[in-house]
Copies of this chain bind each other. A is one copy, B any other.
């Protein structure tokens, strides 16, 4: 079975550039989160309902490797795959391309845990969420 990739388009805004005329490196993490948010909307996964069950999803680690700079007005294709689903954590992989080209601009990952709002402790990822992630998952542990 082939792993599904989820994609969204992001247009580079002026405010995201810096005085080197390129997108500031910290903003790639915001692009990662942008596709993650679109992904949840696509899955019909509801943060508010998770919060009402006392859950939130803090990040524990994130990395980005920069290949080529993105610039103002560029249209970016941001890809997400589910690298790994564990009992209490999820790892997403990201790649950013110049739209309509095979030129990789940046890639990286992000690891999230499910945590109790009450205690702050890591907890099991909700089963319904895990089910929704499956088609996009490379590896299931």
Contact = CB atoms under 8 A, between A and B. Distances in A.
A92 interface: no
A140 interface: no
Given A14-B33, A61-B64, A62-B64, A73 B41 contact: yes
A13 B73 CA distance: 19
Chain A interface extent, by class: 35 or more
Contact of A33 (B26, B29, B34): B26
Contacts of A72: 19, 47
A33 to B, nearest CB: 6
Interface stretch (A52-60, A79-87, A97-105, A123-131): A52-60
A52 to B, nearest CB: 14
A121 to B, nearest CB: 12
A41 B19 CA distance: 18
Contacts of A37: 11, 13-14, 73
A63 interface: yes
15 contacts: A14-B19, A15-B24, A15-B33, A17-B19, A18-B18, A19-B19, A25-B62, A26-B27, A26-B33, A47-B72, A59-B66, A60-B66, A61-B64, A62-B63, A63-B64
